[in-house]
Amino acid sequence: MRGKWHGTTGLPAGVPAQVLDLLAAGRAATELAHDLDVSTQTIYTWHRQDRIDRGLTPGLTSGEKAELAAAKRRIAELESELQATRRAIELIREAAPPKDGSKPSR
């Protein structure tokens, strides 16, 4: 038997939506989880996110989560670039001290 799926990794597109339709039609989450070989928690997570996306439950929508994740990735990228730039400046200052003998400004 293959391992339990977590999230939507490896599942065909549209499966969570189909599962939510089946839940709405009265199928039990445990039954769906067993049939799809996903964890019951995954089913409940999809259901909760769907309720958030439809404005029925407070929380970050899927779009907001994606936007936040993209922003965090970009921030990490910019911080890395800034660190590399600062290090390059340090190396340049060490390699080429000012000609007039004064200390470099920071």
Alpha carbon distance 56, 52 (integer Å): 6
Which of the four pLDDT bands, split at 50, 70 and 90, describes residue 102?
Answer: low
pLDDT, position 99: 76
Alpha carbon distance 20, 27 (integer Å): 9
The arithmetic mean of pLDDT across residues 64-91, rounded, is 97
**Computed from CA positions of residues 29, 34, 35, 37, in that sequence, does the dihedral angle turn out positive or negative?**
positive
Task: Name the pTM for this structure.
Answer: 0.67
pLDDT, position 104: 59
Which two structure tokens, joined as six digits, stand for 60? Answer: 């970050």
Instruction: Please provide the distance, in angstroms rounded to a whole number, between the alpha carbons at the two ends of the chain.
Output: 62
